[in-house]
Amino acid sequence: AQSVTQLGSHVSVSEGALVLLRCNYSSSVPPYLFWYVQYPNQGLQLLLKYTTGATLVKGINGFEAEFKKSETSFHLTKPSAHMSDAAEYFCAVRAWSGGYQKVTFGTGTKLQVIP
């Protein structure tokens, strides 16, 4: 079985504050993990992904995420929030399962940035 849990459907931070969006996953095989961002009325855009190798992954717009196998987590962080970061963020896990790719998205976290 494969699943993704994003803790907190809404997160509010002040401009300049740390952004932390949580993602926990379960997968019976080694997973590939992704974070996407969705701005209003737009499609999803890749922020970063973990495939193999270094567990700290850097993405676009100053975001990064750390893959922690022992905690089955892939939390997204940014040291200093900017107004333009207000959007919805989705964590996703992909893995081979039963001979085909299985993709599972979390339910999303809406980030509000307060001036």
**Binding residues vs other proteins (CB under 8 A):** 9, 32, 34, 36, 41-46, 49, 51-52, 90, 94-96, 100-101, 103, 105-108
Distance CA 13, CA 113 (A): 5
CB of 48 to other proteins, least distance (A): 10
CB-nearer residue toward other proteins: 7 or 44 = 44
Q: What is the DSSP string of 60-81?
A: GGG-EEEEETTTTEEEEEESS-
CB-nearer residue toward other proteins: 62 or 102 = 102
Structure token digits, residue 84: 């333009």
> What number of other Cβ atoms are within 10 A of residue 1's Cβ?
8
CB-nearer residue toward other proteins: 23 or 113 = 23
